[in-house]
Amino acid sequence: MIIYFRNRKLQNICSNRKVAEKKLGHKMAGKLLQRMMELSTVDTLQDVSYLPPTRCHELAGERHGQLSVDLEHPLRLLFIVANTPVPLKADGGLDWSGVTEIEIIEIADTH
């Protein structure tokens, strides 16, 4: 999957262990880099597990249109679909099998 980043600071955190550890701590940095590797090695979003430990899922409410994967509780890696146009099913839902590009937008506690 092709991965973009909302900004250079976020890209640096997600791709540089030393920066990630300074910002998030050793354990969280390790989980973040693991998730980044998982996302970068799949062809489509459908290939990412939605069950624990990754638990890739769509968000609702104010975060409708965003997706997340779990890091270490309580943080999640948040992203949006970057394909243009966004691949949709006939019923209007997101077609995970067509999502080949994402944009990482935030690392946050969404609870």
Per-residue pLDDT tens over the stretch 23-72: 999 999 999 999 999 999 999 999 987 667 888 999 999 999 999 999 99
81-98 pLDDT, tens digit per residue, is: 999 999 999 999 999 999
Is the pTM here over 0.75, yes or no? yes
pLDDT of residue 51: 65
pLDDT of residue 31: 95
> Which of 17, 54, 22 lies closest to 35, judged by CA?
54
CATH number of the domain encompassing residue 60: 3.30.2310.20
* Tokens describing residue 92: 């209007």
Query: Hey, what amino acid is at 75?
Result: L
Q: Domain limits at 104?
A: 2-108
The total number of structural domains in the chain stands at: 1
